[in-house]
Amino acid sequence: MKIRIHGGTARDDEAALCLSCRYASVVAGTSARHQIIRCSRIDTTIAFKVTSCSEYLNRQHPSLCHMEDIAWVLRTDARRNRIGFTPSKALKLRHRLLVDED
């Protein structure tokens, strides 16, 4: 019988969490030891392999700003009695709801 424990001790063969984090700048050399990782979120250089981080943000997921740019906005026109979608880029800046990205 095989027992799996989730969230237990990190395995040594797993990749460092920083390698896929949006806030990390990674400079790698020819060896695993020749690596500099700079975290812009906590403003420090990481000297060890990170397995868990409360500030982690996957760089493969789209950012809030990117999602805003591709979003379609439901608009109503009372004068023409029309309802329809408009690309957010087509709206004037004052009509756009801009959200600050964390």
Q: What is the pLDDT of residues 61-84, one digit of tens each?
A: 888 777 777 777 777 777 777 677
Residue 16 has a CB neighbour count (10 Å cut-off) of 19
Bigger pLDDT: 54 vs 100: 54
Q: Are 72 and 42 in contact (CB under 8 A)?
A: no
Mean pLDDT, residues 39-62 taken together? 89
Q: Tell me the two tokens of residue 23.
A: 């806030």
Write down the pTM of the prediction: 0.55
DSSP H or E stretch at residue 68 = helix 64-70
